[in-house]
A and B are shown apart, each in its own frame.
Chain A
Amino acid sequence: EDKVVQSPLSLVVHEGDTVTLNCSYEVTNFRSLLWYKQEKKAPTFLFMLTSSGIEKKSGRLSSILDKKELFSILNITATQTGDSAVYLCAVRESGGSNYKLTFGKGTLLTVNP
């Protein structure tokens, strides 16, 4: 079964809108959750979250983690066409020397002018 589930799978908005992307996870030994932005090519790192309730912020993007309910959200305010991309959520499990990430399918965000 899927360990990392993102919703919605796709979203179309207009410039200036605010969007919220969701990521829920189900892993045995959670260690951290990471958000990436993937445009045409390689995913680029946005945030890493390890503690509940602490918001990470970078410009118009922000993210928060809820370890009790096992989910994270990524907010984008005042969206721009350049925000159009696939947003990926990934989870790292703890244990030994585990550095592997498990990715969700991503949310395809399209921002129209």
Chain B
Amino acid sequence: EADIYQTPRYLVIGTGKKITLECSQTMGHDKMYWYQQDPGMELHLIHYSYGVNSTEKGDLSSESTVSRIRTEHFPLTLESARPSHTSQYLCASSPGLPSYEQYFGPGTRLTVT
């Protein structure tokens, strides 16, 4: 059973607000990922990290930023939310070699009004 948590699960917020989506895992995984998923669409990788103090942008351009100060924690921040940021955000982690399986958190559904 994977232990990866995301908070909040649902968030409705006004335009211009700063928000931070939290993601934590207790499995000691080095690799962590943030995906954005719109209804009926594929998961798009927006950020990833292969370890503490290491972050990279993913395949889909995003105005969000991430940090990785601790192994277990990988928060995502939007400095100024806009309606175009409305989406589901999924966090995942993986142990890397020999298993590349990614374990997903329950997701945060963000609505920006």
Contacts and interface: CB of A to CB of B under 8 A. Distances in A.
A100 interface: yes
B64 to A, nearest CB: 17
B107 A100 contact: no
Contact of B101 (A4, A31, A45, A100): A45
A102 B41 contact: no
Contacts, number: 55
A104 B106 contact: no
Interface in A49-73: none
Chain A to chain B: the 9 pairs with minimum beta-carbon distance, closest first: A42-B104, A103-B43, A105-B42, A103-B42, A41-B106, A45-B101, A43-B104, A42-B106, A99-B31
B1 to A, nearest CB: 10
Contacts of A104: 42
Contact of B107 (A42, A45, A103): A42
Nearest to B94: A99
A100 B103 contact: no
Nearest to B99: A48
Most chain B beta-carbon contacts within 10 A, residue among A34, A92, A99: A99
A32 interface: yes
